[in-house]
Structure 1
Amino acid sequence: MDLPRTPVLRRSPLLYAALFAVPGLGLAVAGLFHPHSLSYETSGLWYGLHLPGLLFFPLVGVALVMLVRGRTDLLSWAIRLTAYVYMTFYSALDVVSGIGAGYVTRELGPDVPRPDAVSLMFRIGTPLGEVGSYALMACVVLVLADAVRRMRVAALPGVLLLPGAYLVHVGHIFSPEGVVGMALLAVGSAALAYAAATRAGGSAGNATSGALHASP
């Protein structure tokens, strides 16, 4: 898990790592306010929370892909592929069951019972989301295996990715499971990014020190 020496990474590994936590933490906060059921009374919030979700859900996958940035080996491409499947299918869930169902329920008004058409939207969105969440679980397994192989003990905080992805699978971003799951994904991603950043910094420092000592 060797990272290119970006300007942010050179200035502050901690700040660099914190960027990886933003998507998951943002969704965890949204989950605290996410209604547990959709009705006319909750439709405005349901719809409103899923609009920014359209931006934040894919960024969880982007954070995982960034951990293998610059690499071309087979495992890094497997991580990219599973992250892509997660980002695509989970975004579909967000659009259909989140934005679409929430908007239709709100527009129908308070005096109209939720029609079967809205329930059918959930019937489409739910399996799409399950494909995405299974892909997310596969992705974090690959990311963790790669990190342990490359960084050994330093990668152990990345274990948080495993329960994080599982809790998102069973709880979406609903509180408490989904909120905890997204928070664990955030912390796990940030921890691996920080470990890789400090490792890259140490390697650069050792190379510089060696060059100085080798100078006449």
Structure 2
Amino acid sequence: MLRSRWTRAAGYAAPALVLAGFGLTHPLVLDPASAPWWTTLHVVLLPVFPLLAVAQWLLLSSAPAALRRPGRLAAFGFAAFYGGLDAVAGIAAGTVVHAEHAVTPVTGAVFGMGDTLGQAGALCFLAANVAVVATVARETSWRAVPGAVLLLAASISFFDSHIFWPRGVLTMLGIATGMFLLGAIANLAPARPSAH
């Protein structure tokens, strides 16, 4: 039981840890020299970012329907919209800069659309994490505070940090730690009797 609890908690943290690692290699600016890696990195990240939503989805398993349904809808919104950011501002922008050998007005337009998608995704990510925190706090009371503070603060930082070094990497580490701490204590409270 104890080993499975820590293993499960590590699983919740793993996507953000992987993203933090990739953040160490994320170019700070997109230019003709960085464009090939910029594009490739965002192709690699396409299946990784949605794993954050999977962690949220699983952490909401024990939530009452009033938290679980909107929380899971928000997690889905994060996966969809943030995937759009990576496809547009990552893959498409990198491809344009590489093909044109320059940053052009088209690049700016592509980034504008990517930013819109990213903001929607980050808002969904925060909303899902609010539901996660409410779920775990409902089960564990004050023991949820350290993980909740880290997860919510990092979720707010995520709005404009992405995974860029240094702040984005620290943001991902905060998300990983918050999810780990909440995952480690989730579902530990005795089951509440159901009212019939």
- TM-score of the pair, normalised by structure 1: 0.81
Structure 2 matches for 1:185-196, cutoff 5 A?
185-196=175-186
Structure 2 Cα separation of the partners of residues 193 and 179 of structure 1: 21
Amino acid at match of 2:112: R
Which consecutive unaligned segments of at least 5 residues does structure 2 have?
192-196
- The alpha carbon displacement at 1:171 in A equals 0.8
- The alpha carbon displacement at 1:70 in A equals 5.8
Structure 1 Cα separation of the partners of residues 59 and 21 of structure 2: 24
- The alpha carbon displacement at 1:194 in A equals 1.1
Preserved contact between residue 39 and residue 90 of structure 2 (Cα < 8 Å)? yes
Write out per-residue CA displacement over residues 147-185 of structure 1, whole angstroms, 9 at most, x where no aligned residue: 112211221232211111111112111112211111111
1:134 aligns with 2:123: yes
The CA RMSD over aligned residues, in Å, is 1.9
- The alpha carbon displacement at 1:23 in A equals 0.6
1:55 aligns with 2:47: yes
Structure 2 matches for 1:1-216, cutoff 5 A?
12-69=4-61, 73-108=65-100, 112-159=101-148, 160-196=150-186, 199=188, 203=190
Preserved contact between residue 62 and residue 135 of structure 2 (Cα < 8 Å)? no
In the alignment of these two chains, the number of paired residues is 190
Q: Tell me which residue corresponds to 1:3.
A: none
Q: Which moved more, 1:72-81 or 1:19-28?
A: 72-81
Identity of aligned residues (%): 35
Inter-CA distance 44–113: structure 2 relative to 1 (3 Å threshold)? closer
Structure 2 Cα separation of the partners of residues 61 and 125 of structure 1: 19
Preserved contact between residue 96 and residue 107 of structure 2 (Cα < 8 Å)? yes
Structure 1 Cα separation of the partners of residues 17 and 66 of structure 2: 30
**Max Rg structure:** 1
Structure 1 Cα separation of the partners of residues 18 and 133 of structure 2: 22
Structure 2 Cα separation of the partners of residues 114 and 11 of structure 1: 50
Structure 2 Cα separation of the partners of residues 163 and 50 of structure 1: 25
Spell out structure 1 runs of 4+ moving beyond 6 A. none
Structure 1 Cα separation of the partners of residues 174 and 139 of structure 2: 21
Give the structure with the higher percent helix: 1
Structure 2 Cα separation of the partners of residues 121 and 166 of structure 1: 24
Structure 2 Cα separation of the partners of residues 11 and 28 of structure 1: 25
Write out per-residue CA displacement over residues 56-104 of structure 1, whole angstroms, 9 at most, x where no aligned residue: 1111111011012265611111110111111111110000000111122
Q: Which moved more, 1:50-59 or 1:65-74?
A: 65-74
Which consecutive unaligned segments of at least 5 residues does structure 1 have?
1-8, 205-216
Structure 1 Cα separation of the partners of residues 22 and 171 of structure 2: 13
Preserved contact between residue 170 and residue 177 of structure 1 (Cα < 8 Å)? no
- TM-score of the pair, normalised by structure 2: 0.89
SS at match of 1:40: coil
